[in-house]
């Protein structure tokens, strides 16, 4: 199976290294597309075509295109074009999916190709496959999760050091865990995009970003963290969704929440992610793992590539998505005072 990678940044370069070093038989990295490909060329990757012309990827004999460019467009359009040109696609791009999951999964299915996106939610925490495969025999009723590694790092760093939010953000930037503008992380839109993908996979519903109420962690102070700590709590950015299929009623929000220190989600540190998935028959299932970082995210991408390589002709049915009739967000209470 020949593999082409779109985007040679943090994740794309980690994946390319894994593919080049990999002892996994039958996978071959053949093409890398990046707008600065000539500057990024790395001889250690061996005999790879480096290009700034995306058409060269579509015209290539790659069976799988891995999209790790990020952002909505042109990434969304390129995913579609790759599918149209007969390639299966693996992506880590939650923004493109949050704005086009229904269209892209339906199109992939119509083309008889696969679109896999484990890396788009939770990095190396395998929540998409867990829900869509391992829990396929159950009905998922709720998801409560820590889905943003940057905010987990910032909040756990504040706990450990007593630093202010701004100082903890600087520490996250220094370690490469926060972008120069971390607004999407702090204000919850990154976690909302991931929650939209999970709502589609878990409940079969189509939600828009604007339907998910979000509250930022920006207002939190070192004093808030300390007072939570004194009462045996920690604060984490929680993404929550619960769906009543009978009423077609969804409750979905992203907000900072006080959690008992020994609870499952509160154990996240650094860039860890965690999720509790409530199922009708199996009860609650917990997942935990590194939510960010090139190497960790490359694991999820590589696993999706391997799934396609194992069975290139597999049909992955597009989820039949319905719109919820009722959508509610947070209650009026201050979320930071509300322990889950
Ligand atoms: N980083 C993580 O820990 C992580 C975890 C999970 C998921 N993801 C997702 O993985 C994707 C990639 O993230 P990343 O951290 O690797 O981003 P990144 O470091 O910014 O890499 C993106 C790469 O794509 C190139 N690029 C961007 N737009 C392009 C365009 N229009 N044409 C050609 N090349 C373009 C960039 O070039 P320049 O160098 O010139 O900007 C860069 O090399 C995103 O969707 C992100 O949400 C990332």
pLDDT, tens digit, 9 for 90 and up, residues 318-332: 878 889 988 888 864
- Confirm or reject: Cβ of 123 under 6 Å from ligand 1: yes
194 belongs to the catalytic site: yes
Tell me the helix, strand and coil percentages in the chain, rounded to 5: 40, 25, 35
Going by alpha carbons, the residue nearest to atom 39 of ligand 1 is: 9
**pLDDT value for 23:** 73
Q: Which residues does 213 contact at the CB level (< 8 Å), separation at least 6?
A: 252, 253, 254, 255, 329, 330
pLDDT, tens digit, 9 for 90 and up, residues 144-190: 999 999 999 999 999 999 999 999 999 999 998 888 889 999 999 99
Is 339 a residue whose pLDDT tops 60?
no
Q: How far is the CA of 7 from the centre of ligand 1 (A)?
A: 6
Q: How far is the CA of 71 from the centre of ligand 1 (A)?
A: 8
Is 224 a residue whose pLDDT tops 50?
yes
- Confirm or reject: Cβ of 11 under 6 Å from ligand 1: yes
pLDDT, tens digit, 9 for 90 and up, residues 76-128: 999 999 999 999 999 999 999 999 999 999 999 999 999 999 999 999 999 99
Backbone angles phi, psi at 196, to 5 degrees: -60, -45
Which atom from ligand 1 is nearest to the alpha carbon of 36? 40
Is 258 a residue whose pLDDT tops 60?
yes
The DSSP code sequence of 12-81 is: HHHHHHHHHH---TT-EEEEEE-TTHHHH--GGG-S-EEES-HHHHHTS--SEEEE---SSTTHHHHHHH
Comparing 56 with 323, which gets the higher pLDDT?
A: 56
- Confirm or reject: Cβ of 9 under 6 Å from ligand 1: yes
Distance CA 210, CA 203 (A): 18
Backbone angles phi, psi at 37, to 5 degrees: -50, -45
Instruction: Say which DSSP state 205 is in.
Output: B
Which atom from ligand 1 is nearest to the alpha carbon of 11? 16
| pTM across the whole model | 0.95
The mean pLDDT of the chain is: 93
**pLDDT value for 331:** 61
Task: Tell me the mean pLDDT in the region 236-248.
Answer: 95
Q: Are 207 and 252 in contact (CB under 8 A)?
A: yes
């Amino acid at each position: 199976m020949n593999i082409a990678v779109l985007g040679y940044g943090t994740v794309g370069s980690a994946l390319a290294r894994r593919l080049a070093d990999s002892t996994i038989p039958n996978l071959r990295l053949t093409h890398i597309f990046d707008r600065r490909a000539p500057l990024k060329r790395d001889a250690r990757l061996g005999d790879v075509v480096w290009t700034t012309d995306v058409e060269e990827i579509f015209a290539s004999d790659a069976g799988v295109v891995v999209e790790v460019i990020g952002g909505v467009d042109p990434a969304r359009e390129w995913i579609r074009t790759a599918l149209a040109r007969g390639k299966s696609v693996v992506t880590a791009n939650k923004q493109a999916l949050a704005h086009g999951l229904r269209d892209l999964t339906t199109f992939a299915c119509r083309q008889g190709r696969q679109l896999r996106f484990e890396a788009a939610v939770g990095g190396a925490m395998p929540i998409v496959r867990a829900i869509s495969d391992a829990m396929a025999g159950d009905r998922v009723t709720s998801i409560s999760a820590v889905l943003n590694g940057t905010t987990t790092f910032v909040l756990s760093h504040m706990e450990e050091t007593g630093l202010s939010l701004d100082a903890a953000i600087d520490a996250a930037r220094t370690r490469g865990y926060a972008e120069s503008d971390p607004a999407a992380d702090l204000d919850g839109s990154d976690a909302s995009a991931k929650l939209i993908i999970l709502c589609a996979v878990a409940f079969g519903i189509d939600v828009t970003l604007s339907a998910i109420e979000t509250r930022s962690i920006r207002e939190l102070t070192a004093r808030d963290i300390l007072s939570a700590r004194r009462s045996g709590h920690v604060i984490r950015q929680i993404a929550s969704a619960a769906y009543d299929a009978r009423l077609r009623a969804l409750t979905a929000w992203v907000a900072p929440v006080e959690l008992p220190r020994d609870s499952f989600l509160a154990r996240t540190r650094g860039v860890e992610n965690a999720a509790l998935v409530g199922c009708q028959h199996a009860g609650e299932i917990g997942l935990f793992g590194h939510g960010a970082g090139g190497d960790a995210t490359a694991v999820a991408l590589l696993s999706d590539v391997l799934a396609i390589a194992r069975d290139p002709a597999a049909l992955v049915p597009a989820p039949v998505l319905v719109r919820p009739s009722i959508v509610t967000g947070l209650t009026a209470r201050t979320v930071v005072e509300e322990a889950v």
